[in-house]
Amino acid sequence: MSAGRRLARLGLLVAVGLILNLIERRLPPLIPVPGVRLGFANLATMLALGLGSPREAILVWLARFLLASLLGGSLLGPGFWVGAAGGTSAWLAMTGVVLHSGGLERAGPGGRRPAFGAVGLSLAGATAHHVGQIAVAACITGQAEVFALLPLLLAAALPVGLLTGWLASLLLRRLHGAGFVRTLPPWAAPLRGWDLALASAVTIVAALTWPGGPMQHQESAVARVSVGGRTTAELSLARDGEYRVEAPEGSLLIEVHHGAVRVVQSGCDDQLCVHSGWVRTPGRMIVCAPNRVVILVVGEKAGVDAILR
């Protein structure tokens, strides 16, 4: 393929990924952490892997990610680094699957049957994407408790990985049938045996680590407020009130009412912590990454009404 056609293909894939990313940004956030997305834009990266190479895939992702961050106003902010970690982790995972599934060779009639198909490739990327996101979010906030959000993301990775992988396989096979692609990558088949094994493993991990606890009102629950990894307030959910907590990007106004807690005001730009609404169940949390604030609902702690440090 000529350099001009390759450049045009890369530009088209960047445009596809950018459009999908901007659509994702308009959807309600899955969890209250800036930069954490479902990952449908990964379709463009998968197509770059199928039509080109891992090098082209990383170029497509990097160009799409930088443009989306610039247009979304999150360049070099907390959400930028969370998204960068997720995208890099996804690319590394998918590159590993591609190499395991026959390297960069194309599948011929007598070629060996690869272990993973498009669904497995997509699911590996989605899983690594969420693990990388949460790891960096935990570093930014200084709170390892943020990893409690990972089971929710792993559960979301299953349908997203399935849909994205199926779409990538469908598009590659349609392009091949129309004569635009001479040969398909070894993983272009939609589903292989190891795809099911990987999906089962992700399901088991998500189920075993899923935060439990009843959803009803708990008089003894406490909202533990941490800034930069240091606990600065412990608020009893049994006592209504409003509390102001100082943070790097300005103060947060926190309200406790009828056994639940929420953020009423925050100085951060994205306002995800405000949009998170009320939380009341032990193990649930509100995250304000720009302020490095985590509000975690924990179980019984006798004798606490409100302690501000």
pLDDT tens-digit readout, 142-166: 778 788 888 888 888 888 888 889 9
pLDDT in tens, the chain (309 residues): 677 788 888 898 999 888 888 887 777 666 665 556 667 888 899 999 888 888 999 999 999 889 988 887 777 777 788 888 988 999 999 988 887 655 444 444 445 566 788 898 999 998 998 899 889 888 887 778 788 888 888 888 888 888 889 999 999 999 888 888 788 888 888 788 788 888 999 899 888 887 654 444 445 688 889 888 888 888 888 889 899 988 877 788 999 988 899 999 887 776 778 878 888 888 788 888 778 888 888 875 544 444 444
Per-residue CA distances from 261 to 214, 239, 240, 256, 292 (Å): 16, 11, 9, 4, 18
For residue 89, the model assigns a pLDDT of 93
What is the maximal distance between C-alpha atoms in the chain?
73
Show Cβ contacts of residue 267 under 8 Å, excluding neighbours closer than 6 positions: 247, 249, 250, 251, 252, 291
For residue 14, the model assigns a pLDDT of 92
Q: What are the φ and ψ backbone dihedral angles of 258, each rounded to 5 degrees?
A: 55, 45
Side-chain half-sphere CA neighbours of 189 within 13 A? 16
For residue 34, the model assigns a pLDDT of 53
Q: Taking the mean position of all CA atoms in its chain, how far away is CA 94?
A: 15
pTM, to two decimals: 0.75
Per-residue CA distances from 86 to 55, 67, 195 (Å): 17, 16, 21
User: Computed over its alpha carbons, how large is the radius of gyration of the chain?
Assistant: 22
Amino acid at 103: G
Q: How far is it, in rounded angstroms, from Cα 211 to Cα 107?
A: 43
Strands laid side by side in the 293-298 sheet: 285-288, 293-298, 222-227, 230-236, 306-308
List 236's β-bridge partners, or say none. 222
Please name which of 268, 187, 198 lies closest in space to residue 227, comparing C-alpha atoms.
268
Which pLDDT tens digit goes with each residue over 66-84? 998 888 777 777 778 888 8
For residue 300, the model assigns a pLDDT of 58
